[in-house]
Amino acid sequence: MIDIKDLIAEPEKYRASQRARGADESAVDAVIAASESRAAAITRFETLRAEQKAFGKKVAQAQGEQKQALLAEVKQLAADVKAAETEADAAQGQLDTLTRSFPNLIHQGVPAGGEDDFVTLRHEGQPRDFTAEGFEPKDHLELAEALGAVDMERGAKVSGARFYFLKGIGARLELAMMQLGMDQALEAGFTPMITPTLVRPETMNGTGFDVEHDDEIYRLERDDLYLVGTSEVALAGYHAEEILDLSAGPQRYAGWSTCYRREAGSHGKDTKGIIRVHQFNKLEMFVYCSAEDSVAEHERLLAWEEQMLAKMELPYRVIDTAAGDLGLSAARKFDCEAWVPTQGTYRELTSTSDTTTFQARRLNIRERTVKEDGSKGPTRPLATLNGTLATTRWIVAILENHQQADGSVRVPQALRPYLGGLEVIEPVSSK
């Protein structure tokens, strides 16, 4: 949720943010007008209620016909107070509706535009020249099936399209990658978490997902619960309605969970293999920190993601995502995209977002400030950030970039200790 006071004080910067997102600038004026209406309605209600209390004392002191006349006025005043209260509640509801749908204020420097308007910040690593090596690279699914690592056919038989089984070395490879990521997170001071994958609507809404209109989300109607697409949701809700002590620095969590996405609107896109699937595993970093520290913490999250990609020995690029592709809660998002040889392009493997105080305001998470004399100060909204440290999709880039002419796949050095020292994954004779 945005800071309404800040929007009222500096509406032009919010209009500029909306323009960059390709969103409706008039939403700024709508919020301001709703805030003014709310303030006027509350003032009217409180004035009438004060008048009602004062009138009550007059009635108590009156006698006879005067008292009867005053009682009639009291009845009308009570009706006016009730109407004013209803009006104030309606004005509050209108303001809440507008602010809940208003996207976060983007950071200065975020590129304007939509999905294709990102800015490439840098390239790391050099894609292999398979032509020079004398063979045509195979795609990840052909490799995975030959290695006995993935079974798409039986996944579809059991659960439908875009489901799969990771088996044998495929299952081991994912577990190795996730455990490597968790070990790195532990070294960086993160608390490991195995998170719920079903959450309440207030948790999903509080994180910034629109449960009424987001076609990506799976809902269990009987229980009014939602399957998460990332452990960010559960980790954001973990401290809802709490006041945190951040005097010792940010609180960092690494959440390991299964994730679910409907992939609505992606029909015909990446239907082959495990790039776009309905279920996958992910290790997600989530941070609570002071608002003024969020930009620096965002850079740290990106560095930890790049550290993992370097361990996977993958060529990749880092992009600054354009404002119109940020989603509701992010003020800035960096993506790391690995080279996929058979597609001749870069595909997203990680993303890290600075959501500033947006989620914390929606979930009522605050930090306790400390005065110069060391005593407790007032509370204030804190910042939250998230970033991917490993996920199932990485297997695509690992298999394609490390394949060899005979169909085997070289195991990155960092993963070998988690695979019993295995250096090369060899094709199997049958499925």
Q: Tell me the per-residue pLDDT of 401-430, one tens digit each, with 9 for 90 and over.
A: 999 999 999 999 999 999 999 999 999 965
* 75 backbone dihedrals φ, ψ, rounded to 5°: -60, -45
Cα–Cα distance for residue pair 383/402, rounded to 1 Å: 39
The 10 Å Cβ neighbour count of residue 204 is 24
Query: Where would I find the beta strands (DSSP E) of 235-322?
Result: 243-244, 251-260, 279-289, 316-320
The answer, yes or no, to whether residue 272 has pLDDT greater than 90, is no
Q: Is residue 375 part of a domain?
A: yes
One domain for residues 49 and 126: no
Amino acid identity at 203 = T
| Residue in the structure block whose two tokens are 């440290």 | 389
Q: Could you tell me which residues are annotated as the binding site for ATP?
A: 261-263, 277-280, 348-351
Which residues are 122's β-sheet partners? 318
Residues 151 and 165 sit within 8 Å (Cβ to Cβ) = yes
User: How many structural domains comprise the chain?
Assistant: 2
Angstrom CA distances, 206 to 66, 106, 148, stand at 54, 18, 41
Q: Is residue 106 part of a domain?
A: no
CA geometry: angle 243, 245, 246, nearest 5 deg:
125
Model confidence at 1, pLDDT cuts 50, 70, 90, reads: confident
pLDDT at 223: 96
Paired tokens of 279: 């279920």
One domain for residues 70 and 181: no
Amino acid identity at 50 = A
Model confidence at 28, pLDDT cuts 50, 70, 90, reads: very high
Which residues are 410's β-sheet partners? 424
The answer, yes or no, to whether residue 68 has pLDDT greater than 70, is no
Kindly give, in sequence order, each residue whose CB lies less than 8 Å from that of residue 421, ignoring residues fewer than 6 positions away.
none
The answer, yes or no, to whether residue 58 has pLDDT greater than 80, is no
Which of 71, 101, 131 is the last residue before a domain boundary?
101
Cα–Cα distance for residue pair 139/399, rounded to 1 Å: 8
Which of 101, 134, 163 is the last residue before a domain boundary?
101
One domain for residues 64 and 129: no
**Given CA atoms 145, 418, 415, 407 in this order, what sign does their dihedral have?**
negative
pLDDT at 244: 96
Q: Is residue 354 part of a domain?
A: yes
Domain, as residue range, for 148: 119-425
One domain for residues 216 and 332: yes
Secondary structure class of 40 (helix, strand, coil): helix
Cα–Cα distance for residue pair 38/91, rounded to 1 Å: 5
* 54 backbone dihedrals φ, ψ, rounded to 5°: -65, -40
Q: Annotated catalytic sites, by residue?
A: 261, 276, 348, 351, 393
Q: Could you tell me which residues are annotated as the binding site for L-serine?
A: 230-232, 261, 284, 386, 388
One domain for residues 365 and 241: yes
Cα–Cα distance for residue pair 228/286, rounded to 1 Å: 15
Which one, of 258, 269, 289, lies nearest residue 386 by Cα? 289
Angstrom CA distances, 380 to 175, 239, 259, 368, 400, stand at 39, 14, 32, 7, 48
One domain for residues 72 and 177: no
Which of 101, 133, 168 is the last residue before a domain boundary?
101
Q: Is residue 277 part of a domain?
A: yes
pLDDT at 268: 62
DSSP per-residue codes, 158-183: HH-TT--EE-THHHHHHHHHHHHHHH
One domain for residues 134 and 222: yes
One domain for residues 95 and 131: no
Q: Is residue 113 part of a domain?
A: no
The tens digit of pLDDT for each residue in 99-110 reads: 999 999 999 999
Model confidence at 54, pLDDT cuts 50, 70, 90, reads: confident
Q: How are beta strands 165-166 and 366-370 bridged, if at all?
A: unpaired
One domain for residues 297 and 159: yes
pLDDT at 70: 66
One domain for residues 207 and 67: no
pLDDT at 51: 81
Cα–Cα distance for residue pair 258/284, rounded to 1 Å: 11
Query: Where would I find the beta strands (DSSP E) of 180-294?
Result: 191-194, 198-199, 218-220, 225-227, 243-244, 251-260, 279-289
Q: How are beta strands 251-260 and 191-194 bridged, if at all?
A: parallel
Burial 33-46 (b: 16+ CB within 10 A, else e): ebbebbeebbebbe
- Give the pLDDT mean for 219-230: 95
One domain for residues 237 and 95: no
Model confidence at 267, pLDDT cuts 50, 70, 90, reads: low
Max Cα-Cα span within the chain? 109
Q: Is residue 130 part of a domain?
A: yes
Query: In what helix (H) or strand (E) does residue 124 lie, and over which residues does it extend?
Result: strand 119-124
Paired tokens of 215: 């076609």
CATH code of the domain covering residue 374? 3.30.930.10
The answer, yes or no, to whether residue 57 has pLDDT greater than 70, is no
Q: Is residue 107 part of a domain?
A: no
Question: What dihedral angle (degrees, nearest 10) is formed by the CA atoms of 55, 56, 59, 61?
Answer: -100
CATH code of the domain covering residue 65? 1.10.287
Model confidence at 161, pLDDT cuts 50, 70, 90, reads: very high
Q: Could you tell me which residues are annotated as the binding site?
A: 230-232, 261-263, 277-280, 284, 348-351, 386, 388
Which one, of 296, 297, 233, lies nearest residue 261 by Cα? 233
One domain for residues 33 and 144: no
pLDDT at 417: 98
Edge-to-edge strand ranges of the sheet holding 218-220: 198-199, 225-227, 218-220
Cα–Cα distance for residue pair 245/287, rounded to 1 Å: 13
Secondary structure class of 421 (helix, strand, coil): coil
pLDDT at 431: 45
Query: In what helix (H) or strand (E) does residue 389 lie, and over which residues does it extend?
Result: strand 383-391
Question: What dihedral angle (degrees, nearest 10) is formed by the CA atoms of 71, 73, 79, 81?
Answer: -110
Q: Is residue 114 part of a domain?
A: no
Question: Is the entire prediction scored with pTM above 0.75?
Answer: yes
